[in-house]
Each structure stands twice: as structure tokens, then as C-alpha cells.
Structure 1
Amino acid sequence: MIRQPITPRTGGEAVVRALAAHGVDLLFGIPGTHNLEIYAHLAQYGIQQLTPRHEQGAGYAADGYARVTGRPGVVLTTTGPALLNAAAAVGQAYSDSVPLLVVSPGMPLRHPRQPTGLLHEMRSQTEALRGVAAFSHRVSSVAEIGPAVARAFTLFRTERPRPVHLEIPLDLLGSAEACPEPPSAPERPPAQAAADTLTRAAQALRDARRPALILGGGARGAADQCLALAELLDAPVVTTANGKGVVAEAHPLSLGVALHSPEVQRWLADRDIVLAVGTELAESDFWCAPPELGGTLIRVDLDPAQMYAGQPADIALVGDAATVLGALHPLLAKAERPTPERAAPERPAVTALRAARDLPTRQRDARWIPYLQAIRAELAPDAVITSDSAMCCYYGALPHLPVPPEGRYLHPTGFGTLGFALPAAIGAKAACPDRQVVALSGDGGFQFTAQELATAAQYGFPLPVVVFDNGGYGEIRDEMAARGDEPVAVDLPSPDLPALARAYGGHGLRADSPDALARALRAALVTPGPTLIVIPEERS
């Protein structure tokens, strides 16, 4: 066989070629002096680009894209400050197990260790990104670029999905070298738990009299299996923020996002078995130090390290959630029934527990609930809702805005960044232009990335952005008051946000009632460009 000569390609083309080989057709980024050789090849390989107004916005947009598609979001930055601008979004993606690939140029291969004053020079981009990404890799040749991209996609396909940073030295971007065909990341069948462990888990669940399910983001691809298991066991379901809507929140067994509720925590402590699927059972899920769970803990997770992190599993089912739960269901049906009959059906108890869950916070949450009900009434079942680290979102929408399995609710948990909602909504809308997408935020968090209104206007996305305005940082204001401190640096004069939206080429108005919000939302969903809807709130 006569081998064909290997065509020389620049490092910039090698990057784009490797991305295209893995099905990438859209990336998020801002052109800069050092990444132009990459941009030069995007059209040739059929990759579109969406330009936000800040690299942090690019990271959050790629995150939103990844969450709604299940495909990796790709971010392209230039060197130094641009990459660091995206680092907060990388940290958020790591916390929430979102597949994100960040590509940046870096200092030349033989760049001196001592500073030289080269544009955007910094001591080590890879060291900086290793602190927030699954790994950060600097290639040393053009030929290495294809395998490095394949390594990233291998992680996305076969391990717990998390962000990855790939650095291409400046002198390689424009250098032409012999470049073989880029390798493709291997496909691997979904991981299945060991057969003997599945049998143990099935018998333990069948013996249980008071079972419960806790569903996290890792259960997202197993919605059907989770529902089937909950109904077979007559087991109430509680979710984390990332698991919101895996089981319909209107289902009679659903407690919704309620791990933070003291009533639900006490109820969990009384369960004789808890099946936790795709969740860390972390402080960010419970909003406090994780309480001890009663009885046997069965954990299902793709990441083996989760089996002894936090609360160790009594029975560890390491594998893909849909595959593991799909194998568990027939074993449960065949397992021997326990001698004592299972306790009385749980569904009436769930209704009472829901009421108990909401009672302590009823007065606080009353300010948001009518508006959230108006939003839900206007949205299609498959609508995508993005939210921020704002009181109206974590106190309001997480427990009180129900989301069915066909919809999505994207929330920045764990890392708890601000400014997520608007750019994440842009990424979700770019991924799913035919689905309704709505962003929810507070006035403080919204202004972290308010400039992305210009991005939504440029691309003509019909995008309602609902902002609850309490005149500053309401959560921190309340925490200061609870400490007995005089509030400082938290009361911020509210700018004319509707006017700001209009200045960026969008639309803006205020809604002083749930009915006004409903009318505004109805129009915004079919009006090209962003519509900022501000809901004035009294300061707490």
C-alpha cells in the first residue's frame, strides 16, 4: 500500500480540524491578536462562532449550550486576561459536572521563564486553569493537537464530564507541520455496576419499608428509569438543584428541590433506605452541613470517588445512571418480598410534607410565588429556564417554579457564581432556537454580565430576562442584619435597567404585578431580541 503524504497544516487549522472531527459546529469566543489563526479556519470546517461581549459570558453561554444539548460547549479565548476572564465559568462547570472545552493560545514554546513583557504574558496559564478544570494541557507540537483534543472528548464521553483547558503555544498556531488525521475519541458502552452488587441493592430496596430517592444532576439522563423505580417502590423523590425536574415536580411522589428544608432533612433521617443517584450529597445541596441519613445508603454514580466522599455508600453502584437503574428494575420485580408488608403508601404523606416544607418560609417566599406562577403559566412544558445566585431563584424558583422532565432549569450550584443566567440563556437559545428560553436574576447578579444583552440583540434571540430588583445584594444584606451588623456596601442605587436594555438594542419595561409580568412575558417570547422585565421589590 502506498502511503499518502501527510499534508502540512498550521496549528490553528489543526485545532479547528480536530474540533470538527468531534462534531463541533458552534463555539463561543472573542477574537484577539493571538487567536486569529484559529478564527481564520472556522468557516472552512463549518464551525460557526457566537461572539459575546466578555469571555466570562462566553464560558457561561457554552455551559448553557452543553447543559441543554448534552454535548461539550467550546470556548475560544486569546491569551492572558481573556483566559482568566473565562476562569469563573470553568470553575462553575467543574462544580456542576458540565463538559466544557476551553482553547487558548499560550506563550511560545521557548518563551523564557523570566518575564519579557510580551503581550498578555503571565507566569503559567496551565497552572492557573488546573485549579478550576479537570486538566489543563499545553501541547508541544502541531501533531499533538489532534490527540490532545481527542483526550478531552474521551473524558467527556467516558468519565464524569468536567471542563478541560487546552493551550496552543503562539509559535505553533502559525507554523505548518506534517499533521496526520485527527484521532476520534473512542465510544464506550455505558458503564454497568457489578452484578452481585446490583442483586444486593435490589434485595435491600425490596426489603425497605420507608424508601426515598435523592436525584442529582447525574440522574438527568435517567428520568424514565428514576420515575419507574419511584413508582415501583412507592418511594418519595427529592432532588438537588441540578436534578430539578428529573421527575415531574407535579407528580404525587415528588418533593421537588427540598434538601434544604429542615422538615425534609428530618424525614430523610427516618428513612430505612435512601437511593441517591448522581449527587454529591454536599453542603451546597443541603445548604448546611450534610445531615446523617437514616438506614442504608445506596449510591449510583459514574464517578467511583463519590462512593466514599461525604457520606460513604453502604452499597456502591458505580456506573451510568440509566444503565444501572434499568438493570435494577427487573431485579426488584423478581426479588423476594419481605415478610412484613411495606409501610402504608407514601403519597398522602408527601402532600403533608410539602406543606410542612413550605410553612417556615411562607412569609418570605410570598413575594415571589405569584410572579413565578405567572411565569409557569406562560411557558411551554419544554421551556428552558436559567437562573442566577439570587434570592428570587434559590429561595423562589428552585422550590416554587415546577419544571417537567421535558423542560430544563439551569442553576449555578456549588461554585455559586453570579452573572450566570443571561449568558447561559443565550447559549441555550443558540442550541435550541425553537424552544422557549427565559433568564431569571436579581439586580445585583444581572449586572455582572448585563453587557450580554448586546449579544442577544445582535443575534435576534427572543429572550425574556426577568430581573427582581431589591436595590443591591439582598442576601448579604440579610446576613449582615442576622449578625447584628450595620449593612455596608450592599445598598446599591438601581439604574434604569429597562433603559439599559433599550440602549443595547433590546426592549425593557417594568412589571408591577403578576398579570403585568404575564403580558410582558407573552410578548417577549415572540419578540426578536432580549426583553428585560424588571420587577421592583421592597428591600427586606
Structure 2
Amino acid sequence: MGGLLTARTATSPAVTGGAAVVRSLAAHGVTQAFGIPGTHNLEIYRHLTAHGIAHLAPRHEQGAGYAADAYARLTGRPGVVITTTGPALLNVAAAVGQAHSDSVPLLVISPGMPLRHPRLQNGLLHEMRSQTEALRQVTAFSHRVSTVEEIGTAVARAFALFGGGRPRPVHIEIPLDLLEAAEPAGPVRLAPALGAAVPEPVALERAAALLRGATHPALILGGGSREAAEACLALAEELDAPVVTSANGKGVVAETHPLSLGVSLHSPAVRKWLSDRDAVLAVGTELAESDLWSAPPPLTGLIRADIDPDQMYSGPAAEVALVGDAVATAGALLTAVRTPAGTEKRRAGAAKEVASVRAARDAETSTRDARWLPYLRVLREVLADDAVLTSDSAQCCYYGALPHLPLGPEGRYLHPTGFGTLGYALPAAIGALSACPDRQVVALSGDGGFQFTSQELATAAQAGLPLPVIVFDNGGYGEIRDGMAARGDTPHAVDLAPLDLPALARAHGGHGAHAADPEEFRAALTTALTTSGPTLITVPEETLR
């Protein structure tokens, strides 16, 4: 053992922990990081430029987390956040929880207390009992390293998770003394390339037989189906099967397609329709309460396809469980159900049924949703097909844009579902622009949620890229106000004092406008898309009712 250590020491140059982590990130293809420098993480920042890693500094670590989340969703590459110790790491925890909920590959790197830090606290700056225990609750794992050499192992372990299986966030903690210490780091360790996981053949054949024999099949597509969009559309057309998506599956199949019901799992009419199907293929979705807004309906002939085997034991029980990569699974099913050449295909009548179900869905909430529809039509008319929209946990988003703003696979709609954080839209839009500076990006929020991260207007202004920020202003927390009223309570603590949000944007170095009607909104949006920096456009909801 001693001889091996001596030999490796002789051939492996000594580097600091900060250099080792940046070297490992660069070796795994990282070119962008988000975060805020602090007293304890300067040795990491020292090496970023030399390794070709760009950096964007938001005004709060939570903003860094949401920006990295959006970057990861758009690029498919892990979003990297660098924080300092203690409060900075806890600031990013809400964003990490959102990434865990939405299966986003997020890597958070932070310093930690020194290796020999006493168990009894002694008042070291940013000291807390256990950062790893705190972050372990919202990550796939939190890895505290004990040597400089182990840093490479931890980074490779994270990227192995990101490259195979269900992506989840990871936290790596590097003790303060290791960040500055120069030790042999050994060779750069790389995560192995992992092949696509294919479901067990017998299960595939059972699923294919169920779909072939169905007279009223349906597809439910979640965020885990996105890479398999082409095969999922081909399956729907082959089976004449209508498609409904979760929030994270929005746009996997073009929402203008005659077989698409869009984001509609929350609709009683759609849930009733689903319960009448004789085979349902659910790909890459938890079938969660946060999408259904209620308990799942009874589903006959349910086939669940997911990379995560835990999904087969959670939520609605599957008649057939297909554990595997979505692309490989959908492709294999398509091959198995495809009608042989020269054989009469099943009658195509589902499109008429979809139109009827969609009309029933819209009728359920026509009075409530009418306030947003004219503005959503303007958005769709003005924006390019490949535009990116980021949204918030706001009524204008989950009642308005998710079901009523049609998108196709070339566009993206990034929404914080599941964990349901507030303040996602603006920093996520900044991350989206970092990932795709040549695409139109628009943030959509309510006034309550927007104010959780409004300071990121300054970040957007400093970046200098066009960014319309649309805020539907209902004077506070509209959903909670409505919930109190529905309980028979007198609403309280939900009304926010009037605030001149466009003036706030100007104070941060951006631009602002009020839009009292759809045509004013069209003009403001069109100008904002070609104006450097953020333009905050408020739509007062009293003009919508």
C-alpha cells in the first residue's frame, strides 16, 4: 500500500481542492456555472476562467439555482451552481428541491467545515451542524469528500447519475481546508458512458399486445418522454390514440395536432375520458397529484414506461411495467404495434373525439380563464415557434398558459411543477438566455411570485439580452385569496400594497410598460423582444374581469 501511494505521489502533481473540482467539471464538458463568490469558495472561482467555464452571478443563490435549472432543462447538460458555506447553501435549497421534483440534473458545489472541525460548534463563520444532512433531503445524494483526490470521484459519480437513470440534483461538499490544500489528485476520473436501458422483452410484448388490441387507447406523456417525442407522436398516429400531457410534458407532441389534448390532466372532463379508455400508455410521468389536481382516475390497461423503477411502486399500479429509457422503449413499442404493409389500418376517428373533449375541458373553466385568453393569443401570434417561456406558480400560468398557450416540440415551456416554488420565472429566463442566447425567451408570472426574486432584474439588465417579463398583477396572492374565500374565511395577509413594477424594472437598469388591453400588450411585447435588457410589462387583472 505504501509503495503504491509513493508511486502515485511521484507521478501525480499536487493541486488544490479548488483546482481539482474545476478540472473535473471541465473534463465532463461543463462550460457554464452560476453562483455568487463568497469568503470560503474563492479557490474555486480562481480556476474557472483558465478551464473555459463561463460564470453568471445572480443577486441571490436561489436565483442561481433556478437559472441553472432552466439551463439544464434546455441543454440537457447538468446545471452547475457554486455557493459558499452555510446561508448561501441554504438559500439555494428551494431551487434544489424544485429540481428534484422535476427530475432536473443540477450539481451544487459548496465548501464545508474543515475536516477536523469539532462536533460541538465553535462559531466558525457560516457554521452549521451538517450541510450534507440538510441537502440530502432534496438531492439524490450529498457527498462530502475527505481528500483532494476524492473530489474527482465525487464529480464522476454525479455525472454517472446524470447520464443514466432518472436525473436528480447532487450536492458535493469540499471541506474548507481541502479547497486550499495542495495534494496529489490522481488522474481525472470520468463518468462512464451508459447505454440506453431497454425494458424486458416479455413486458414489451405484453404492452404491445395490449395496445394492438385496444379500441380506445390513449397516451399520457410526461417530462421523461421529451427525448422520445418523435417516436411518441408516431405511436399516437399509428394507434389513433389521443395524447394528454403533464405540465413538464407540454409540447412533446404539438398541441395543435388533431390528436393532442395538451396539458389537461387536471380537467374533470379529461379524467373522465381517460377512465373510459381500454389501454393507456404513460411515458415518463409520475401521474402525480400536482398534475392531476386530485387522485388519479381509474385507468384500465395502464402501461407505465419509466427509467425509474420506483415509479412502478408509486402512484397508479401498472398492468404492464416497462422500466427503460424512453427513446428505446417508445421505439420498440412502435416497431411492435406498427401495422404491416398491405394491412388495413385502424379507422382514424379519434381526432373528432379529441375536439369534443377539448371543448368540454374549456367549457369547465371558460368564465375563469377568459381573462387571460386574449393576451395568450397575442403571445402565440408574436413569438417564434421555438420561443422559450418560463413560468411561475401563478394563476395566469397554471390556469392560463399551461392549457391554453399551444406549443410544439421546437418550443419550450419551463414550469415549476410538483414542489411548486414561487419566484422561478425570472431567474429561469436568465438561465434560458444563457443556454440559448439566440432564441426568444419570455418570463411569465404573477405579481406575488415575481416579487420573490425581483432583484434578478438587475442580473438581466447586466446581461443585456432582450427579456420580456410579463406580470399579471392581481394585487397579491390570488390563489390563496380565492382559497380563503372558498372556505368561507375572510381573506387576510394576501393583499399586497400597489407597486409600480415597471418603475422597479427601470430602477434596476431595465425598462417597463403597462398594458391595459391586448393591443397595448402586443406593442409592448414586440418592442421588448428587440430591446436590450429586461422589459417588465404589467397587465393589471382588474382590466381583465
Is residue 469 from structure 1 mapped to residue 473 from structure 2 by the alignment?
A: yes
Find the residue that maps to 2:349 and give its secondary structure: coil
Determine the C-alpha separation between the residues in 2 that align with 1:3 and 1:507.
Answer: 57
Determine the C-alpha separation between the residues in 2 that align with 1:54 and 1:390.
Answer: 21
Determine the C-alpha separation between the residues in 1 that align with 2:386 and 2:348.
Answer: 34
Counterpart selection for 1:238 from 219, 236, 244? 244
Are 1:99 and 1:156, in contact at CA under 8 Å, matched by a contact in 2? Answer: yes
Structure 1 residue 181 displacement after superposition: 2.0
Find the residue that maps to 1:351 and give its secondary structure: helix
Counterpart selection for 1:413 from 410, 417, 421? 417
Are 1:209 and 1:343, in contact at CA under 8 Å, matched by a contact in 2? Answer: no
TM-score (norm 1): 0.97
Aligned to 1:222: 228
Are 2:240 and 2:348, in contact at CA under 8 Å, matched by a contact in 1? Answer: no
Is residue 509 from structure 1 mapped to residue 513 from structure 2 by the alignment?
A: yes
Q: Which amino acid aligns with 1:86?
A: V
Find the residue that maps to 2:504 and give its secondary structure: helix
Aligned to 1:77: 83
What's the Cα RMSD here? 1.8
Counterpart selection for 2:305 from 294, 300, 315? 300
Q: Which amino acid aligns with 1:8?
A: A
Find the residue that maps to 2:174 and give its secondary structure: strand
Aligned to 2:377: 373
Is residue 99 from structure 1 mapped to residue 105 from structure 2 by the alignment?
A: yes
Counterpart selection for 1:259 from 260, 265, 276? 265
Aligned to 1:324: 329
The correspondence of residues 136-535 of structure 1 with structure 2, limited to 5 A, is 136-293=142-299, 295-333=300-338, 345-535=349-539
The correspondence of residues 20-39 of structure 1 with structure 2, limited to 5 A, is 20-39=26-45
Per-residue Cα deviation, 1:395-423 (whole angstroms, up to 9, x for no partner): 00000011111000000000000000000
Q: Which amino acid aligns with 1:444?
A: G
Find the residue that maps to 2:21 and give its secondary structure: helix
Are 1:90 and 1:132, in contact at CA under 8 Å, matched by a contact in 2? Answer: yes
Are 1:18 and 1:149, in contact at CA under 8 Å, matched by a contact in 2? Answer: yes
Which stretch of the first structure deviates more once superposed, 246-255 or 187-196? 187-196
Structure 1 residue 335 displacement after superposition: 8.0
Are 1:463 and 1:530, in contact at CA under 8 Å, matched by a contact in 2? Answer: yes
Structure 1 gap segments, 5+ residues each: none
Kindly, what percent of the aligned residue pairs are identical? 70
Structure 1 residue 2 displacement after superposition: 11
Determine the C-alpha separation between the residues in 1 that align with 2:308 and 2:45.
Answer: 36
Counterpart selection for 1:17 from 9, 12, 23? 23
Find the residue that maps to 1:534 and give its secondary structure: strand
Counterpart selection for 2:96 from 90, 99, 117? 90
Find the residue that maps to 1:440 and give its secondary structure: strand
Find the residue that maps to 1:219 and give its secondary structure: helix
Structure 2 gap segments, 5+ residues each: 1-6
Is residue 536 from structure 1 mapped to residue 533 from structure 2 by the alignment?
A: no
Are 1:12 and 1:41, in contact at CA under 8 Å, matched by a contact in 2? Answer: yes
Structure 1 residue 494 displacement after superposition: 2.2
Aligned to 2:4: none
Q: 1:206 to 1:114 in 2, by over 3 A?
A: same
Which stretch of the first structure deviates more once superposed, 307-316 or 166-175? 307-316
Q: Which amino acid aligns with 2:332?
A: A
Q: Which amino acid aligns with 1:223?
A: A
Aligned to 2:3: none
Per-residue Cα deviation, 1:490-523 (whole angstroms, up to 9, x for no partner): 0111211000000000000101111111111111
Q: How many residues end up aligned between the 2 structures?
A: 538
Are 1:264 and 1:357, in contact at CA under 8 Å, matched by a contact in 2? Answer: yes
Determine the C-alpha separation between the residues in 1 that align with 2:499 and 2:51.
Answer: 43
Determine the C-alpha separation between the residues in 2 that align with 1:506 and 1:433.
Answer: 18
Are 1:115 and 1:121, in contact at CA under 8 Å, matched by a contact in 2? Answer: yes
Per-residue Cα deviation, 1:229-255 (whole angstroms, up to 9, x for no partner): 000000000000000000000000000
Determine the C-alpha separation between the residues in 2 that align with 1:330 and 1:88.
Answer: 42
Are 2:470 and 2:538, in contact at CA under 8 Å, matched by a contact in 1? Answer: yes
